[in-house]
């Protein structure tokens, strides 16, 4: 009985050590610093470049956009598309060839999606993480941290976060899908002192004229 207890204890300690090894303390310190700085901001607005690399063909498609974030709220602008999230409701507005449409969802129904605001805290639940290293980008030291999902059915299996070592700012991130494709986001200009009104994160149909509304709430 004693031998079995000792064996059980050794196995438990082994797996506890294995789990701990998946949570790199160096990576956690960086992620905590970035997350804490983000939470201290009144708001953030940035222009960015978005690229999708096709896993099978290796070709990329790039777009430019603008993102504004305030707590759990965000307003994302892309060519022909805008997404508003005021923390309770999400409006996805699309305009193409004169056609205008907005789809409305509850924010709680989209919790599994990686959003511009949740990317700052995604590491806190359901992911292991490790510091891959550092590199120079335009004279700035950027730290690369890789997040891997603990569960095989997680929406995103691998996420790479890129942080400015000195400023503790997130400068970009990469998401790997299950088809071998990679979504890359890189901030270009960032304003961390902006304080946007609450209305900026809510879709106002009066500003867009005649719009077809698809309410999925």
The residues spanned by each domain of the chain are: 24-215
Q: Are 133 and 124 in contact (CB under 8 A)?
A: no
pLDDT tens-place string over residues 140-176: 899 999 999 888 877 778 899 999 999 999 999 888 8
For residue 95, pLDDT beyond 60 = yes
0.95 surpassed by pTM: no
Backbone angles phi, psi at 194, to 5 degrees: -75, 145
Q: What is the pLDDT at residue 2? A: 46
Residue 66, pLDDT score = 94
Question: 24-215 belongs to which homologous superfamily?
Answer: Lipoprotein localisation LolA/LolB/LppX (2.50.20.10)
pLDDT (mean) for 60-82:
89
What's the pLDDT band for 119 if we cut at 50, 70, 90? Answer: confident
The candidate with the shortest Cα–Cα distance to 211, out of 53, 90, 101, is 101
């Amino acid at each position: 009985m004693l031998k079995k207890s000792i064996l059980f204890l050794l196995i438990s300690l082994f797996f506890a050590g294995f789990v701990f090894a998946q949570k790199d303390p160096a990576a956690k310190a960086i992620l905590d610093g970035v997350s804490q700085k983000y939470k201290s901001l009144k708001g953030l607005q940035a222009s960015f470049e978005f690229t999708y690399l096709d896993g099978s063909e290796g070709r990329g498609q790039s777009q430019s956009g603008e993102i504004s974030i305030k707590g759990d709220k965000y307003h994302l602008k892309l060519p022909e598309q805008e997404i508003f999230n005021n923390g309770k409701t999400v409006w996805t507005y699309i305009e193409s060839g004169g056609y205008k449409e907005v789809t409305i969802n509850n924010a709680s129904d989209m919790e599994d999606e990686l959003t511009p605001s949740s990317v700052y805290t995604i590491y806190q639940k359901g992911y292991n993480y490790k510091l891959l290293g550092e590199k120079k980008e335009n004279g700035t030291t950027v730290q690369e941290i890789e997040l891997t999902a603990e569960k095989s059915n997680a929406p995103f299996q691998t996420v790479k976060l890129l942080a400015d070592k000195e400023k503790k700012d997130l400068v970009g991130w990469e998401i790997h899908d299950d088809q071998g494709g990679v979504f890359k986001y890189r901030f270009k200009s960032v304003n961390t002192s902006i304080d946007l009104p609450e209305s900026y994160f809510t879709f106002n149909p009066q500003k867009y004229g005649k719009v077809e509304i698809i309410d999925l709430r």
